[in-house]
Structure 1
């Protein structure tokens, strides 16, 4: 599977539109929320998704299945689900402002860690 995270995400058309979290529902809330998110990234208030994907790619083996972006009370969180080499699904949650990994949930997570 190798270095597939960023390329697979873009190659499969999942870029942020894969699954929209609270506050970013495309149909119900419109483009203004996407514009606000892009503005937050441009100002440096939110870490770009690419930075998070690069970190994941450097530390874990897997293919991106889903990306969710949630905004609650001004707080941004990224949740990224990866498919591991043993077909395990692992969810990674990141703080959108700092880029810090907050939690990992799934099975056989150690089998996905890069040496």
Structure 2
């Protein structure tokens, strides 16, 4: 995984821990790690690796949300022309389920562009 993508994810982790009472943060992270370890959720690193392989840009923000009861990774990226694009992945399967933004094609890696 690219170092540029790891840093924002680490900042997100730090911010979540600082913004949440310590006991709740520990329980939350423990349950997330358990869900990844047991195969209930895809590891964020796998999603970020896939994004790096298919799209150019820098990760700005990562969130784990619930959409209709389903866990969804929402990842905002800054593209090479300054565009901001949000990718949504099913956190259980790792499937890309949505992309929103401007000039998305401009972010596709050349071997991926059609």
> Are 2:83 and 2:103, in contact at CA under 8 Å, matched by a contact in 1?
yes
1:64 aligns with 2:59: yes
CA distance in 1, matches of 2:88, 2:27: 24
Higher helix residue share: 2
> Are 1:18 and 1:67, in contact at CA under 8 Å, matched by a contact in 2?
no
Query: Unaligned stretches of 5+ in structure 2?
Result: none
Q: Tell me the residue number matched to 1:30.
A: 25
How many residue pairs get matched?
107
Taking the TM superposition and a 5 Å limit, the aligned residue runs for 1:1-115 are 6-10=2-6, 12-15=7-10, 16-17=12-13, 26-27=19-20, 29-71=24-66, 75-115=70-110
CA distance in 2, matches of 1:18, 1:114: 30
Measured at CA, do residues 72 and 108 of structure 1 come closer, stay the same or move farther in structure 2, by a change above 3 Å?
A: closer
Larger radius of gyration: 2
CA distance in 1, matches of 2:89, 2:57: 17
How much has 1:86 moved relative to structure 2? 0.5
Give the TM-score, by structure 2 length.
0.80
Query: Unaligned stretches of 5+ in structure 1?
Result: none
